[in-house]
Amino acid sequence: MAVTKISKKTKAPTADPLLIEDNSNPFNSMMQRLDQAAKIMNLEDDVYQVVKVPSRIIEVSLPIKMDNGRVKVFGGYRVIHSTALGPSKGGIRFHPQVDEHEVKALAAWMTFKCAIAEIPYGGAKGGITCDPKTMSVGELERLTRAYTVSMSDIFGVDKDIPAPDVNTSSREMAWLMDEYSKVNGSFTPGVVTGKPLLLGGSQGRVEATGRGVCTAALQAMKKMKMNPKKTRAVVQGFGNVGSISAKHFEANGITVVGISDHTGAFYNPKGISIKKAIAHCEKNNGTLKGFKDAKEISHPELLELDTEILAPCALENQITSKNASRIKAKLIVEGANGPTSADADDILNKKGVIIIPDILANGGGVTVSYFEWVQNRTGYYYSEEEVNNRADKWMINAFNNVWAVAVENKVPMRLGAYVHALTIVAKAIRARGSY
């Protein structure tokens, strides 16, 4: 698989002041784990050379007319890491921090996530470096449509299928589907997942990632003999993944004592009503700012709260060598992609903390995205119950497979997950052969 690199420019990513600094970018963090896994399984170099580089990197410039009449040029990316197991699949992120390193890491994680979930997809990711919180709906729509046109020869039902990620939702996916359908000349719902129900979305997709995070945590709790009713959880990030994870924790008897988003962090040792927190967000432009049912604390404090479960559901590199030794949770379930740096892993592993890694814990989203794609292709739509039952079964199966590989190799779950995923992807690469 040749590396195709279309246009390459350097740009300085805008740092998010809320992010805790780390010494490595997400791609390096991912590579450190991949190297370890490849060594454990004695992966032959021929295959490893293919897996460790993305198969395509596309960078585009998107000139957009802003509401003030001026043109602003945004940078957009799509990285296709692998198509060994099928068409590439992965979300699109709108964030000031989006850069090539981040998108490359996220694309590789998608390859491994799809392999673990046993769905016939490769991995990709896309992103636009922008600050959607300062943009109007009209500007966001023009940006999404311009990105879609630029990528119209990359996307495709059997080629590359995007989905929502940070700061994108069913609204952006509807614009993308509409624009792609116009370019393509026919209604093409299967080109993107996470669409509104009316336009071929799947029942259960909005809740799928958070629901899967909770299912994975419950499986680990069984192994760790933890009683949900005597268990506390802290959830960082209160967007799609964080709020739904918190909702399912609460529904399963777990007391959620801490929540946060980019506007603030909140703690109540007696438990926070997630219903109230979601209702607060709905009235407050999607943010927790001003939430009154808990005490406001700092962002770093939230991660270090006294709790049994910590679910980082925001962005990368939140748990690093700087704060890992102060983390009190004994179970970390990674709703976000890449929230724990490789250095932090070492510290947490030594402390005996169990980490359900991102490529397993948040795989519920892509699993239901796969169901959505299947439904679009067949034109037959499942009920919410059918989707949820299937997704729960797939998550439990994936959890047990990763747990078994980790036990067999006497390694933490993250390495077990990488070994399991690499084994599957390597088999596909060998079976397909090369020039």
Of 155 and 238, CB closest to ligand NAD? 238
Stretch that binds ligand NAD, among 38-46, 181-189, 254-262, 289-297 (CB under 6 A): 254-262
In contact, 263 and 289? CB cutoff 8 Å: yes
Q: Shortest gap between Cβ of 337 and ligand NAD (angstroms)?
A: 4
Q: Shortest gap between Cβ of 366 and ligand NAD (angstroms)?
A: 7
Identified binder of ligand NAD from the candidate list 170, 188, 320, 337, rule CB under 6 A: 337
Stretch that binds ligand NAD, among 133-141, 232-240, 321-329, 378-386 (CB under 6 A): 232-240
Stretch that binds ligand NAD, among 147-155, 180-188, 308-316, 377-385 (CB under 6 A): 308-316
Q: Shortest gap between Cβ of 139 and ligand NAD (angstroms)?
A: 17
Of 141 and 372, CB closest to ligand NAD? 372
Identified binder of ligand NAD from the candidate list 314, 327, 329, 387, rule CB under 6 A: 314
Q: Shortest gap between Cβ of 16 and ligand NAD (angstroms)?
A: 6
Annotated catalytic residue, options 104, 113, 125, 330: 125
203 binds ligand NAD (CB under 6 A): no
- Walk across the sheet containing 331-333 and list its strands: 295-297, 264-267, 255-261, 232-236, 309-312, 331-333, 354-356
- The span from the CA of 155 to the CA of 5, in Å, is 16
241 binds ligand NAD (CB under 6 A): yes
Of 59 and 261, CB closest to ligand NAD? 261
Identified binder of ligand NAD from the candidate list 237, 357, 412, 416, rule CB under 6 A: 237
- Which residues between 9 and 28 bind ligand NAD (CB under 6 A)? 18-19
Q: Is 5 marked active-site?
A: no
262 binds ligand NAD (CB under 6 A): yes
Identified binder of ligand NAD from the candidate list 202, 236, 255, 307, rule CB under 6 A: 236
Identified binder of ligand NAD from the candidate list 172, 261, 308, 345, rule CB under 6 A: 261
29 binds ligand NAD (CB under 6 A): no
User: Which residue number has the CB closest to ligand NAD?
Assistant: 239
Of 213 and 354, CB closest to ligand NAD? 213
315 binds ligand NAD (CB under 6 A): yes
Residue 292: partners with Cβ closer than 8 Å, 6 or more residues away? none
Q: Shortest gap between Cβ of 241 and ligand NAD (angstroms)?
A: 4
165 binds ligand NAD (CB under 6 A): yes
The residues binding ligand NAD (CB under 6 A) are 18-19, 164-167, 209, 236-242, 260-262, 299, 313-315, 335-337, 362, 365
Q: What is the set of active-site residues? A: 125
